[in-house]
Amino acid sequence: MTGELGQLALCFALALSLVMAASGLTGARANAATARGIAHGATMGMLVFIALAFGTLTYAFVTSDFSIADVANNSHTLKPLIYKISGVWGNHEGSMLLWVLVLSLYAGLVSALGRGGPQLTSAALGIQGLLASAFLLFILFTSNPFLRLDPAPFEGAGLNPLLQDPGLAIHPPMLYAGYVGLSASFSYAAAALIVGEEGWARAARPFMLIAWIALTCGIALGSWWAYYELGWGGFWFWDPVENASLMPWLVATALLHSALATERTGAFRTWTLLLAIAGFSMSLIGTFLVRSGVLSSVHAFASDPTRGFFIMVLIFCAIGGALGLFAWRAPTLKGGAAFDTVSRETALLLNNVFLVAACAAVFVGTLYPLLLDAINGEKISVGPPYYAATFAPIFFALLLLVPFGPMLGWRRGDLKEAARALAPALGIAAVAALAVLAIASPRFLTGVCAFAVAGWLIGASILSFIKRKGARASAFAAALAHAGLGVTLMGVAGTTLWRSEALTVLAPGQTMTVGPYTLRFDGVTQEQGPNYRASRAHIALMDGARVQSLLTPEQRIYPAEGQDTANTAIRTTGFQDLYLALGDDRGNGRWTLRAYVSPLAPFIWLGGLVMAFGGMLSLWGRLRAPAQVPSAVAQPAE
Amino acid sequence: MKKFLFLLMLLTTPLLAAPVTDTFSDPAMEARARNLQRQLRCLVCQGESIDESGAPLAAELRHLVRQQMTDGRSDQQIEDYLRARYGNFILMKPPLQADTYFLWLAPFLVLIGAGAVAMFVVSKARRAVAELPPDLL
């Protein structure tokens, strides 16, 4: 029964999304209040039915209903409850259902907040309805999660053990909240082109912020997971799937900055619209890359050419349609920004120039190998050295300029005054550089530069905290987000440049040293988990002859899935990680042990968290603001 | 006898032996080997270098790299040897050649292009700001 209920709910949701699209777009006209009412109703109805379908699938996973193919292929009775639930989106069909659930949640939020006036909201709902119907069709025709099996198997096939991890249980919903959140600003941008663009940037701002916060957290979580789960201490691999999440982040960051100018002084009107379209386009391309099986990785659950083709058509329609609308309507927008060469606007423009170039590096690096393979069959790898030579210098140049932005006034800034205000930050940068020269060995020029820039960023943020006492929340938000960049930069530099490592085969009782630590190997025991067997190593961290603490890295074998994973043991001081991964069994109780000491590793994710907090502060300021500041564009009440 | 057992162990375990344990005692050689290993891609994994991969093939390639280093070959010679054997795919850093110029130049072309557009926008905006009434500044 449950499967059929979910299927039916999806069909109803599809019907309602079509109603939503039609009535929403009709409601864009001034005298169509009835259509607007229908659009709002259909939005809520669609949300309810998609939530019902999602709830049904979750119920099937929790109760291990193996008569549903998706459950049988991706779950197992012995899996702990949390992984039964996360298994819902740990596969292609379920993850697409999560995608439309998030899409409908954003549509519901657009409808409930009704920002930007009734016509703009209605048109935005219409576009959201179009997107929802396209994805619902995709699900129903190529990726139906409710298909039945007859006879039902006695036991399920289990979930990829790499995905059975608390970090990865929440990573996909977080990332989707970001990906799909960009659909809201996309819809608002398209709606602005239909209705006339007054006030859309202000209306869409909270959605841009939510999407950006979620993307930031999602990427940080993914990177953290890779760090502790993959077992060799790296935190970013320039894997195409990671790049697929980084590209929307870069565009969303550019959008947040450009929209600020549009909202404030009306500068960059058309460019901001284009960025909003580009942001969601990057999300769609990311989805295509990940879901179509063009790139295979832990994320690509299934490769099926029909799905790839369907998503490709969907992307062409969405991006092509939006760009067509843009090409048609954008020339009618009144352009004309007015600002001086030295101004906040110029700073925001430079921000966009560098972010777009950085995004181009990631885009070309990710897609060029596919293109080249298709053209002449030549296979190349685009690995970290490529990004170190392209992305890194461009992003580094951007970081150098970041502190100037908030110090310059709108329309006309004073560079001398900004430089004077930033002088103490330069001092902090010099101190940071000297400290690195004094403390760290070996000495790297890149390391010194990285810490100088980090000091520059954090110093400038502290200055704007002091200077702007009593200022609006947005000023503090920017300072916090920019400081987060500095924190992450320190973590990245510390881990990449000064990581020490040791790889040793140890017999019980033997010791090894890594960095400042001495480790004693006390042997390996066999443990039984709920759905895995583990070889657990017992490692004593020594302080002279005394045992300071015990670490237990594991190797886990998941018999149901026939796979094994490494479970690292990490001991952190907050400034430095001691990282242990158990290698292979060398016989006679001897095992290989990999140990890393990563200075400042926690800063990588701490910085991400600080950035996200900056975003949240800005969001809080925004949602509070309309009550006090009346909107510049007053809409007639209905 | 002990030696024989050790040899037997070596012969039977290489496929299971994921991370290498052969290391150079000379730290300079070891650093060179590690650096080379980071530049070479594990052909059977997703985007990992042979330095970090646990796959058996990566272990074999690491062994190969170290053997060639012991034979006195230069980094370039080793890379060329592996390229001849496995193609450009094995290099983490794509070679600069006719069909990768675009790959290497695109980010900087975008940077220059976007910079030029920005300069144009700024010059236009500067002319407009001169005509603004002063109370708007």
> Is B87 found in the same domain as B127?
no
Of A232, A296, A365, the CB nearest to B52: A232
Percent of chain A with pLDDT over 90: 58
- Which tens digit of pLDDT belongs to each residue from A169-184? 888 899 999 999 999 9
Mean pLDDT of all residues in A476-488: 94
Query: Which structural domain range is residue B133 located in?
Result: 96-137
Instruction: Say what the pLDDT of residue A392 is.
Output: 95
- For residue A96, give the CATH number of its domain: 1.20.120
> Is B81 found in the same domain as B119?
no
| Domain stop point among A355, A389, A406 | A406
> Is B41 found in the same domain as B10?
yes
More confident call, B21 vs A191? A191
Residue B120 pLDDT grade (very low, low, confident, very high; cuts 50, 70, 90) = very high
| Domain stop point among A384, A406, A428 | A406
> Is B106 found in the same domain as B84?
no
Report which of A178, A366, A368, A375 is spatially closest to residue A283, judged by C-alpha positions.
A178
Does the predicted TM-score (pTM) go above 0.80?
Answer: yes
Interface test with A, best of B51, B92, B105, B120 (most A CBs within 10 A): B92
> Is A387 found in the same domain as A411?
no
Residues 26-55 of B with CB under 8 A from A: 38-39, 41, 46-49, 52, 54
Contact A340 B47 (CB under 8 A): no
Contact A438, A407 (CB under 8 A): no
Cα dihedral A554, A525, B57, B75 sign: positive
Would residue A127 count as lying in a domain? yes
Contact A6, A57 (CB under 8 A): yes
Residues making up chain A, counted from first to last: 638
Residues of B in contact with A265 (CB under 8 A): none
> Is A592 found in the same domain as A527?
yes
The C-alpha of B67 sits at a distance from chain A's nearest C-alpha, in angstroms, of 19
> Is A529 found in the same domain as A479?
no
Instruction: Say what the pLDDT of residue A471 is.
Output: 65
Q: Which residues of A613-633 are buried (b: 16+ CB within 10 A; e: fewer)?
A: bbbbbbbebbeebeeeeeeee
Instruction: Say what the pLDDT of residue A627 is.
Output: 41
Mean pLDDT lowest among A121-130, A283-292, A593-602 = A283-292
CA A589, distance to chain mean position in Å, is 43
Mean pLDDT of all residues in B15-21: 42
> Is B105 found in the same domain as B42?
no
**In angstroms, rounded to a whole number, what is the distance separating the alpha carbons of residues B42 and B37?**
9
Closest alpha carbon within chain A to B52: A232
> Is A245 found in the same domain as A337?
yes
Residues of A in contact with B17 (CB under 8 A): 584, 586, 592
Mean pLDDT of all residues in A122-135: 95
Contact A589, A524 (CB under 8 A): yes
Residue written as token pair 């205000």:
A421
- Which tens digit of pLDDT belongs to each residue from A510-557? 999 998 899 999 999 999 988 899 999 999 999 888 999 999 999 888
Asked if the interface predicted TM-score (ipTM) of this complex is over 0.85, the answer is yes
pLDDT of A11 above 90: yes
Instruction: Say what the pLDDT of residue A296 is.
Output: 52
Residues 116-135 of B with CB under 8 A from A: 118, 121-122, 124-126, 128-129, 131-132
Number of domains in chain A: 4
Contact A70, A93 (CB under 8 A): yes
Would residue A175 count as lying in a domain? no
Instruction: Say what the pLDDT of residue A354 is.
Output: 97
Beta-carbon contacts of A168 under 8 Å, excluding residues fewer than 6 positions away, are A86, A90, A162, A225, A229
Would residue A209 count as lying in a domain? yes
Instruction: Say what the pLDDT of residue A586 is.
Output: 86
Q: Which residues of A344-363 are buried (b: 16+ CB within 10 A; e: fewer)?
A: bbbbbbbbbbbbbbbbbbbb
Residue A628 pLDDT grade (very low, low, confident, very high; cuts 50, 70, 90) = very low
**In angstroms, rounded to a whole number, what is the distance separating the alpha carbons of residues B102 and B34?**
30
For residue A59, which phi and psi values (nearest 5 degrees)?
Answer: -60, -45
> Is B131 found in the same domain as B82?
no
> Is B71 found in the same domain as B22?
yes
- For residue B25, give the CATH number of its domain: 1.10.8.640
pLDDT of A334 above 90: no
> Is B23 found in the same domain as B87?
yes
Residue written as token pair 């017992």:
A538
HEC readout, A396-410:
HHHHHHCCHHHHCCC
> Is B83 found in the same domain as B16?
yes
Query: Which ranges constitute the DSSP H helices of A440-505?
Result: 445-467, 473-498
> Is A209 found in the same domain as A158?
no
Beta-carbon contacts of A593 under 8 Å, excluding residues fewer than 6 positions away, are A503, A504, A505, A506, A512, A519, A521, A537, A539, A553, A580, A581, A582, A583
> Is A580 found in the same domain as A460?
no
| Domain stop point among A376, A406, A436 | A406
Contact B89 A380 (CB under 8 A): yes
The C-alpha of A414 sits at a distance from chain B's nearest C-alpha, in angstroms, of 12
Report which of A278, A165, A290 is spatially closest to residue A222, judged by C-alpha positions.
A165
Residues of B in contact with A372 (CB under 8 A): 99-100, 103
Would residue A212 count as lying in a domain? yes
pLDDT of A299 above 90: no
Mean pLDDT of all residues in A62-78: 90
> Is B112 found in the same domain as B88?
no
Mean pLDDT of all residues in A453-474: 84
Closest alpha carbon within chain B to A300: B46
pLDDT of A636 above 50: no
Average pLDDT across chain B, whole number = 80
Number of domains in chain B: 2
Percent of chain A with pLDDT over 70: 94
- Which tens digit of pLDDT belongs to each residue from A26-43? 999 888 889 999 999 999
Pairing of strands A569-572, A576-587: antiparallel
Residue A626 pLDDT grade (very low, low, confident, very high; cuts 50, 70, 90) = low
Residues of A in contact with B2 (CB under 8 A): none
> Is A348 found in the same domain as A203?
yes
- CB distance from B99 to chain A under 8 Å? yes
**In angstroms, rounded to a whole number, what is the distance separating the alpha carbons of residues A133 and A100?**
9
Closest alpha carbon within chain B to A239: B47
**In angstroms, rounded to a whole number, what is the distance separating the alpha carbons of residues B65 and B30?**
11
Contact B92 A383 (CB under 8 A): yes
Query: Which structural domain range is residue A336 located in?
Result: 183-406
> Is B103 found in the same domain as B41?
no
> Is B2 found in the same domain as B49?
yes
